Amino acid sequence: MFETLKPQPADKILMLMQMFRDDPRDNKVDLGVGVYKNAEGVTPVMRAIKAAEHKLWEEQTTKAYTGLAGDPAYADAMINLILGTSVERSKIAAVATPGGTGAVRQAFELIKLANPEARVFVSDPTWPNHISILKYVGIETVMYRYFDAETRAVNFDGMMEDLQQAKKGDVLLLHGCCHNPTGANLNLTEWQAVVELLNERGLIPMIDIAYQGFGDGLEEDAAGVRLVASSVPECLIAASCSKNFGIYRERTGLLMAISQDGGAQAQNQQSLAFLNRQNYSFPPDHGARLVTMILNDDALRADWMKELEDTRLGMLGLRQQLADELQRLTGSDRFGFIAQHRGMFSLLGTTPDLVEKMRLDHGIYMVGDSRLNIAGLNAQTVPILAKAIVEAGV
């Protein structure tokens, strides 16, 4: 049997990681991997996570299964964090998942289960795993324009024009905030226009929110999500705790299915639990329990929010430093978009050849589409990157 297996496409980011490790240069800079790092190049364990883990170690008496959907208290806490009071809890079905990727995969499985003919409209560009999973699950993917390579901002007119192709029952995949890979986000006026289009054309929104708190703040980053969820008949939301709680390896995510028809909640919940059972049965609990403890404890939550805000402001500071340094070197404000983007990523909008030139000449490692991880920088490496960008002729 195994002799029939065929080689699968290599993961470009994993290949880039290996190339970085093999590079002997001391001044090399890793901007490829989508993981938050502090100024010392470390992905730290947040203070509130450490405190919650210590408390859990003292108090936990069992490692028995929770349930197919995970601990209901975790779902409640996350729904409150993401949606606030914008949607009644009785209208939301939710299950814990292995990370945000698990939530995305389960959402696609639910779409396939509910409507095998549905197409998913995906921003161009998007997180590559969106496309990979859709292809594997067997769902037709349609790309819509999103990023303007000239302005490095959202091509909203192009987006709305392309979405006129969508038919009733199709799914529109949106990034809740901190768009990956571009860093360019919709504003609230644009979110409202998207809501009107969704309702006019009978489309189902699916929102992937993986970076809440990394952009403009916890509440601000959720504003578009809340607007959509409260304004359309049905909605899917896939959420991740990897970034804003720093628990990447704990694989902590949540999938929500929202229906304004409150009578649909029980069936939606049963369907989500069924999909969990077919895939991994009971979701991991450790990270979910820590998140629940933090969100439900005033002191822990306050400390977590403080550290998260420091992280957000640190990335904004690096963005501004890089934009200022590029303006100093070029005498132009054409890189000002870097300071306007939000989240961990920005898309420079240059060619793979110039990305490779920066790697060869300056040890700058970024994905070939020119996505750079702002969190991979520090005050000392910003001038190195700026020099590489200018000398490569980006």
Would you please indicate which residues are annotated as catalytic (active-site) residues?
A: 127, 208, 210, 243
* Angle value at C-alpha 388, between 358 and 366, nearest 5 degrees: 45
State how far the Cα of 275 lies from the Cα of 68, in Å rounded to an integer: 9
C-alpha distance from residue 295 to each of 74, 291, 312, 337 (Å)? 9, 6, 19, 34
> Which tokens sit at 196?
């009107």
Spatial CA neighbour of 174 closest among 248, 96, 232: 232
C-alpha distance from residue 342 to each of 104, 117, 182, 183, 351 (Å)? 22, 35, 9, 5, 22
- Cβ contacts of residue 110 below 8 Å, gap of 6+? 236, 255, 257, 271, 272, 275
Q: What is the DSSP string of 274-325?
A: HHHHHHTSSPP-HHHHHHHHHHT-HHHHHHHHHHHHHHHHHHHHHHHHHHHH
DSSP-based three-state secondary structure for 152: coil
CB neighbours of residue 203 within 10 Å: 23
- Cβ contacts of residue 153 below 8 Å, gap of 6+? 147, 184, 337, 340
**Does residue 208 come out as left (phi exceeding 0), alpha (psi in the -120 to 50 range) or beta?**
beta
Instruction: Give the torsion sign (CA, 26, 349, 191, 206).
Output: negative
| Beta bridge mates, 149 | none
**Peptide bond preceding 181: is omega within 30 degrees of 0, i.e. cis?**
yes
* Angle value at C-alpha 241, between 83 and 130, nearest 5 degrees: 90
